[in-house]
Amino acid sequence: MTGGAGFIGSHLVRRLLAEGHSVDILDNFQTGSRENLSHDVGKIGRLIEQNVADPFSGAYDGIFHLACPASPIHYQTTPLETFRTAVWGTWQVMEACRLSGARVVIASTSEVYGNPLIHPQTEEYFGNVNPVGLRSCYDEGKRGGETVAMDYRRVHGVDARIVRIFNTYGPRMLFNDGRVVSNFCHQALLGNPLTVYGEGTQTRSFCFVSDMVDGLVLAMEKDDFDGPVNLGNPVEYRVIDLARMVLSLSSSPSSIVFKPLPSDDPSRRKPDITKARAILGWEPRIPVEEGLLRTIKEFQDRLGRHGN
């Protein structure tokens, strides 16, 4: 698994180990955390500490490719490295699959749709992406990664499965990753004002990490996979309503402050998961309130251990 020390990756690693699989992890710990793997030390196979954009090889039945900075704070800090990871990293993964005959699940993103002009977003929508904006290193990088995967599938017959991940949240998110759930939970627990951009009327859909892991496993196990496939929660929330929900669930005295919208920030984001239901038999099960409570509890525990 590439990116196995990251937020989603570490949850997926634990799931696969619990099912009795042997798992190697490739991660350079740019945004991943060794603490995320601490409970699984001794169970993991090889830990390959390198950038996924550099060549690697191994005898694998399947590869989950999750490695790439995924939050605006991180990918805008290292835009060239992010684009290289998204495109050339996927190339290296596909080459490893070509040589080993491994099946691969490519973790793409809802950001390939950009600031969408249709709602909800179906897999047939080609997107509305600014190729020269501050987010383009990630948005266009992931689009390029999908191109590499599909061309390896067409040219070399690699069994590549693309899943487009929509907003996912839960325990082990980085406090400072800049995404809305982690920002709100962290700020609320510290008693700091919650930062809402614009008027907070932009919408997002939030999928709890255990549901996302279920979808990724199903994508790997399905024999007949016709992708790309959206994975996300089709229940839509306004950002301002999420902020109020976090304040209530955390019993925080924090206020809400409003700041200007970032460049190219999508106004609406909601997956159409018709294909996920039909192909994988998948849909999210954890309500947002329950997922937020679990996330807030884990954030509290981690703040108690490490501070802010």
Catalytic residues: 138
Q: What CA–CA distances, in Å, run from 133 to 114, 145, 208?
A: 11, 18, 29
Tokens of 182: 């982690």
- 110 touches 165 (CB < 8 A): yes
- Phi then psi dihedrals of residue 179, to 5 deg: -90, 155
**Separation between Cα atoms, residue 232 and residue 271, nearest integer Å:** 6
Angle (nearest 5°) at CA 63 between 103 and 66 = 130
**To which H or E segment does residue 229 belong?**
strand 229-231
Rg (C-alpha) for the chain, rounded Å, is: 18
- 67 touches 37 (CB < 8 A): no
N-term to C-term CA, the chain: 29
By CB atoms closer than 10 A (0-12, 13-18, 19+), residue 20 is exposed
- 201 touches 240 (CB < 8 A): yes
